[in-house]
Structure 1
Amino acid sequence: MLFGWIVLAAIKLLPGPVAGSLGLLGFGPLGPIAGSAAAWYQATFLGGLIGAGSLFSLLQWLAMTI
Structure 2
Amino acid sequence: MDKKLLDILACPLCKSPLIYDKSKQELICKADRIAFPIRDDIPVMLEDEARELTNDEVDALKK
Task: State the TM-score bracket (shorter-chain normalisation).
Answer: under 0.3
TM-score calculated relative to the size of structure 2: 0.24
- The structure with the largest helix share of the pair is 1
